Chains A and B, each alone.
Chain A
Amino acid sequence: MDAFIHQVLAGLATGGIYASLALALVMIYQATHLVNFAQGEMAMFATYIAWTLVDAGVPYWGAFFITVAFAFVFGIVIERVVIRPVENAPVLAVVVVFIALLVILNSVTGWIYTYTIKTFPSPFPKEIGLGRFMSPHEVGAIGVTMVVLVLLYVFFRFTPLGLAMRAAAQNPESSRLVGIRVGWMLALGWGLAAAIGGIAGMMVAPIVYLDPNMMGGVLLYAFAAALVGGIDNPWGAVIGGFLVGVLENVLGAFVIGNELKLAVALVLIIGVLTVKPSGFFGKVHVTRV
Chain B
Amino acid sequence: MTRRQLIVLAVLLLVAVALPFAVSNYRTFQFTLVLVYAIALLGLNMLTGYNGQISLGHGAFYAIGAYVTAILMDKFGVPYWLTLPVCGAVCLLVGFLFGLPALRLEGLYLALATFALGVSLPQLLKYHQFEKWTGGVQGIVIQKPEAPFGLPLKPDQWLYFFTLAVALVMFALAWNLLRGRVGRAMVAIRDNHVAAEAMGVNNSIYKSLTFGVSAMYTGVAGGLSAIAVQFVAPDSFDIFLSIKFLIGIVIGGLASIPGAIFGALFLQFVPNVADEISKAAPWAIFGLFLLAFVYVMPMGISGAIQMGLARLARKRQNT
Contact = CB atoms under 8 A, between A and B. Distances in A.
Interface of A: 33-35, 37, 82, 85-86, 89, 91-93, 95-97, 99-104, 106-108, 110-111, 115, 216-217, 219-220, 223-224, 227, 259-263, 265-266, 269-270, 273-274, 277, 289
B287 A220 contact: no
A100 B123 contact: no
A104 B287 contact: yes
A96 B290 contact: yes
A18 B112 CA distance: 16
Interface string B238-258: 011001001100100010000
B54 A100 contact: no
A262 B123 contact: yes
B75 to A, nearest CB: 22
Given A91-B54, A96-B290, A262-B120, A107 B280 contact: yes
Contact of B287 (A33, A92, A100): A100
Contacts of B112: 35, 223, 227, 269, 273
B101 interface: yes
B105 interface: yes
Contacts of A35: 108, 111-112
8 contacts: A89-B294, A95-B54, A103-B284, A104-B284, A107-B282, A216-B239, A265-B119, A273-B101
Most chain-B Cβ atoms within 10 A of its Cβ — which of A82, A107, A289? A107
Contacts of B239: 216
Interface in B49-68: 52, 54, 56
A106 B60 CA distance: 21
Given A92-B48, A110-B280, A260-B124, A269 B116 contact: yes
B115 interface: yes
Contacts of A34: 108
A260 B288 CA distance: 34
Nearest to B111: A95
A100 B290 contact: yes
A216 B119 contact: yes
Given A107-B283, A111-B280, A260-B124, A266 B117 contact: yes
Contacts of A219: 119
B286 A273 contact: no
Contacts of A82: 291
A107 B254 CA distance: 25
A101 B288 CA distance: 9
B310 to A, nearest CB: 23
Nearest to A219: B119
Nearest to A268: B116
B120 A100 contact: no
Contacts of B128: 259
Contacts of B5: none
Interface residues of B, number: 46
B295 interface: yes
Contacts of A274: 101, 104-105
A161 to B, nearest CB: 28
The 8 closest A-B pairs by CB, nearest first: A104-B287, A107-B283, A111-B280, A262-B120, A103-B287, A100-B290, A91-B107, A110-B280
Most chain-A Cβ atoms within 10 A of its Cβ — which of B56, B124, B126, B294? B294
A277 B104 contact: yes
A96 B250 CA distance: 8
A85 to B, nearest CB: 6
Contacts of B281: 107, 111
Contacts of B113: 269-270, 273
Contacts of A96: 246, 250, 290, 294
Interface string B274-315: 000011111110111011001100100000000000000000
B109 interface: yes
A93 B119 contact: no
Contacts of A107: 280-284, 286-287
A270 B116 contact: yes
A233 B281 CA distance: 39
A38 B274 CA distance: 23
Given A99-B56, A261-B123, A110 B279 contact: yes
Most chain-B Cβ atoms within 10 A of its Cβ — which of A96, A104, A224, A289? A96
Interface in B93-136: 101, 104-105, 107-109, 111-113, 115-117, 119-120, 123-124, 126-128
Contacts of B126: 259
A259 B120 contact: no
B182 to A, nearest CB: 21
B194 interface: yes
Nearest to A106: B283
A220 to B, nearest CB: 5
Contacts of A220: 115-116, 119-120
B291 A97 contact: yes
A109 B28 CA distance: 34
A34 B109 CA distance: 10
A97 B295 CA distance: 9
Given A92-B48, A97-B291, A103 B119 contact: no
